[in-house]
């Protein structure tokens, strides 16, 4: 390619903005029709007029299956790689039970919500999104949160994330989003990371991503444990009752252990110390009987309320603030059994948003509508057969029968001559086999006030979809000052990996619509001038700040024992340490529901005062980043040896830098001094632990790192 050709191509790329259509922010610049290579086409050479919006019936109507451009794009995307999942490839799964704690028959006829105490088996899978199956557990990423309910009226798959909103509004853009965040196609890296040119280039051109960016760059993107993440259905669904009346519903999973994150430095070091940190944490908790649990909550509202909002409830980049509609808890999921075989269960589990049961229905959310096609289609690529539903982990646990037969890997033995319906052949079964049941079968919601004019077929978005900044502003301004600093620092880090200055500048111009001070501190962190504010299709509004969006604001004061529930404490000891003191701390931690993990310079039996002890982990292989708090019981001569061990010094330095509780004995003081640990309310004498608790001491953070 000549330099002139490169310049022309670069110029054209810079001058083109995505076409958002009605309700969007910008329109695509005219294309040079004389240049065949400048026109976007489908795989059969048909010119494409709009690559941003799927075809739907009316402005807010359902997506139409006749949209061959959407179907081809999603179809190709679904089959790009085999057999690993394209997204959510690295996952952890477990079995459990769901129990209804509040019956809501007036709202829905869904079988699992009819009677308090009713239960059904579930299988849950948690995952990272961007990395492959061989990546690590702790990158900054969205976490998938998918639950399969094996109900008596069929399987219901609630397939969501640990963030209540998404990057895009229309399924048409899903392949583009994932292509941008995956490894760059010319070099095959970075793996499991969004800190690179192509992702932020896409984000900078798609203002609808900005709300999700705030969440992903917050501490939600680097969770402490899968047991300590929230889950969300993301989309707006419908509840339908026996009378056929429907209301909108949003689904929430609230972890019983509360929400907790790591720091960025901690997440990076955990990836090196234990790439399977989250997977191991979940498995060991269940294996030891510390069953993780989540409360299922719902937000219920109707069309009248929805019509009064300044945003569109069918927009997957928007949430319903909990201070406006509180989350009503209606059930609890407890995971109580690890899988017997990772491949057969966790890897072969197939979740489908289209798996719903009577009493639950879809809305015309254009992202959801595309997912209904995509997830079913992709199972053929991953699992090799249309009969993937016969794999035990995917099979319903209630009777199921139909006339769909044959196909690769058919394991059932259907009997009879007829494989069609209706039929009158008695050998199929009484009255010719199964028949549709109008009384109890699934029926779509009969009224649909979401539509404007169903006679129109348009590639458009609702006007309210064009407000890309109000909820991003709400999320940022609802955080504590400390959490805001984390967001700013995360974006500075990510953009520091972006080599294209015009992309960094474009992101800054978008951020000015969210919060001026946020944009300024990020520009300062990048040593860049602040560009002009990007034009907004709809001016952002200031919404009421809500504490439910902040991890730290939700962390209400707890007793020391409550703080220890589900957490892990590392106890460092060595030759001559006092066994009685170690046993006391270990017993106190375990009686409060925590896990005590003994760390020593050597892994075998060690002579201590009062007998012998065997360490659970060796010092160099058990860094403090894998614990929620640390304690040490050391004799002076052992400390003298450890002063020469960089792993020992770093053990304390990291715990201090990550704002954790450090409980020390008198002999440990020399190690604390060498690790530059300053005494504060979180650095306590061993006699005060664990009464002091293990909360993070965020006021320490300005002393240990330079935040944006």
Among 5-19, 418-432, 574-588, 652-666, whose mean pLDDT is lowest?
A: 5-19
Which tokens in the block code for residue 101?
């704690």
What is the mean predicted confidence (pLDDT) over 414-429? Answer: 69
Known catalytic residue at 161:
yes
Q: Does domain 558-704 have CATH number 3.90.550.10?
A: no
**CB count in 10 Å sphere of residue 191:** 14
Check 88, 278, 468, 658 and give the catalytic one. Answer: 88
Check 161, 338, 364, 387 and give the catalytic one. Answer: 161
Q: Are strands 568-573 and 91-100 parallel, antiparallel or unpaired?
A: unpaired
Query: Locate tokens 């997440």: which residue?
Result: 267
Could you say which of 2.40.180.10, 3.40.1440.60, 2.60.40.1120, 3.20.20.10 is the CATH number of the domain covering 76-192+225-390? 2.40.180.10
Q: What is the pTM of this model?
A: 0.85
CA 497, CA 494: separation in Å to the nearest integer? 6
Long-range contacts of 430-436 (CB under 8 A, 24+ apart): 433/401, 433/403, 434/401, 434/402, 434/403
- Coil, strand or helix: which one is 692? coil
Position with higher pLDDT, 104 vs 82? 104
Partnered with residue 239 across adjacent β-strands are: 247, 360
**What are the φ and ψ backbone dihedral angles of 426, each rounded to 5 degrees?**
-65, -20
H-assigned helices in 463-500:
470-477, 481-496
pLDDT digits (tens, 9 = 90+) for 207-235: 999 999 999 999 999 999 999 999 999 99
Known catalytic residue at 155:
no
Break the chain into its structural domains and give their ranges.
Answer: 76-192+225-390, 558-704
Which tokens in the block code for residue 402?
């139909």
Position with higher pLDDT, 204 vs 388? 204
CA-angle at 337, arms to 334 and 343, nearest 5°: 120
425-445 b/e with 16+ CB inside 10 Å = b? eeebeeebbeeeeeeeeeeeb
CA 251, CA 461: separation in Å to the nearest integer? 24
What is the mean predicted confidence (pLDDT) over 545-572? Answer: 89
**What are the φ and ψ backbone dihedral angles of 76, each rounded to 5 degrees?**
-65, -40
Q: Is 558-704 the same fold as 76-192+225-390?
A: no
- Coil, strand or helix: which one is 361? strand
Supply the pLDDT for residue 656. Answer: 97
N- to C-terminal Cα distance for the chain? 41
Supply the pLDDT for residue 543. Answer: 96
pLDDT digits (tens, 9 = 90+) for 482-537: 999 999 999 999 999 999 999 999 999 999 999 999 999 999 999 999 999 999 99
């Amino acid at each position: 390619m000549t330099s002139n050709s490169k310049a022309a191509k670069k110029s054209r790329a810079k001058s083109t903005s995505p076409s958002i259509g009605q309700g969007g922010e910008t329109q695509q610049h005219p294309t040079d029709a004389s240049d065949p290579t400048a026109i976007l086409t489908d795989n059969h050479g048909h010119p494409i007029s709009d690559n941003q919006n799927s075809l739907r019936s009316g402005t807010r109507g359902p997506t139409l299956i006749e949209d061959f451009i959407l179907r081809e794009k999603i179809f190709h995307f679904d089959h790009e790689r085999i057999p690993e999942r394209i997204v959510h490839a690295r996952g952890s799964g477990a079995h459990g039970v769901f129990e209804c704690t509040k019956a809501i028959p007036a709202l829905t006829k869904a079988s699992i919500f009819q009677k308090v105490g009713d239960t059904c088996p579930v299988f849950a899978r948690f995952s990272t999104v961007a990395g492959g199956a061989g990546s690590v557990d702790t990158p900054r990423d969205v976490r998938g949160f998918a639950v399969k309910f094996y109900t008596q009226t069929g399987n219901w798959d609630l397939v969501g994330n640990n963030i209540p909103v998404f990057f895009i509004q229309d399924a048409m853009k899903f392949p583009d989003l994932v292509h941008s965040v995956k490894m760059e196609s010319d070099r095959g890296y970075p793996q499991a990371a969004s800190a690179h040119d192509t992702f932020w280039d896409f984000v900078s051109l798609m203002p609808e991503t900005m709300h999700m960016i705030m969440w992903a760059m917050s501490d939600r993107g680097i969770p402490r444990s899968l047991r300590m993440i929230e889950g969300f259905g993301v989309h707006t669904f419908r509840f339908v009752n026996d009378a056929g009346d429907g209301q909108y519903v949003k689904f929430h999973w609230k972890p019983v252990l509360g929400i907790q994150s790591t720091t960025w430095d901690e997440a990076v070091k955990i990836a090196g110390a234990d790439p399977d940190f989250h997977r191991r944490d979940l498995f060991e908790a269940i294996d030891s009987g510390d069953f993780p649990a989540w409360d299922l909550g719902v937000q219920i509202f109707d069309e009248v309320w929805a019509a009064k909002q300044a945003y569109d409830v069918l927009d997957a980049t928007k949430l319903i603030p909990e201070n406006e509609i509180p989350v009503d808890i209606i059930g609890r999921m407890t995971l109580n059994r690890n899988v017997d075989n990772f491949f057969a269960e966790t890897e072969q589990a197939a979740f489908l948003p289209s798996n719903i049961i009577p009493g639950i229905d879809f809305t015309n959310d254009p992202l959801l509508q595309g997912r209904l096609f995509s997830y079913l289609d992709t199972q053929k690529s991953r699992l090799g057969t249309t009969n993937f539903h016969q794999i035990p982990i995917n099979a319903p646990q209630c009777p199921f029968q139909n006339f769909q037969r044959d196909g690769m890997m058919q394991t059932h033995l259907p009997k009879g001559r007829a494989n069609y319906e209706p039929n009158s052949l008695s050998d199929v079964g009484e009255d010719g086999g199964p028949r549709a049941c109008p009384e109890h079968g699934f029926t779509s919601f009969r009224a649909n006030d979401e539509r404007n004019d169903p006679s129109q077929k348009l590639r458009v978005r609702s006007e309210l979809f064009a407000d890309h900044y109000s909820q991003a502003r709400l999320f940022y301004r609802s955080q504590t000052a400390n959490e805001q600093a984390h967001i700013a620092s995360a974006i500075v880090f990510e953009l520091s990996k972006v080599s294209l200055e015009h992309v960094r500048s474009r992101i800054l111009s978008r951020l000015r619509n969210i919060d001026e001070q946020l944009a300024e501190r990020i520009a300062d962190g990048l040593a860049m001038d602040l560009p002009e504010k990007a034009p907004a299709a709809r001016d952002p509004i200031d919404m009421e700040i809500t504490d439910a969006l902040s991890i730290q604001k939700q962390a209400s004061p707890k007793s020391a024992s409550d703080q220890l529930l589900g957490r892990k404490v590392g106890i460092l000891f060595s030759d001559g340490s006092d066994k009685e003191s170690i046993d006391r701390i270990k017993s106190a931690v375990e009686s409060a529901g925590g896990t005590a993990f003994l760390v020593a310079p050597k892994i075998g039996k060690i002579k201590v005062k009062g007998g012998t002890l065997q360490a659970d982990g060796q010092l160099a292989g058990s860094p403090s980043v894998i614990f929620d708090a640390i304690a040490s019981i050391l004799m002076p001569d052992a400390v003298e040896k450890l002063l020469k061990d960089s792993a020992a010094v770093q053990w304390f330095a990291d715990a201090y830098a990550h704002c954790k509780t450090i409980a020390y004995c008198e002999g440990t003081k020399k190690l604390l001094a060498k690790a530059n640990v300053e005494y504060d309310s979180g650095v306590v004498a061993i006699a005060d632990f664990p009464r002091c608790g293990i909360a993070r001491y965020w006021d320490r953070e300005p002393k240990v790192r330079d935040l944006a």
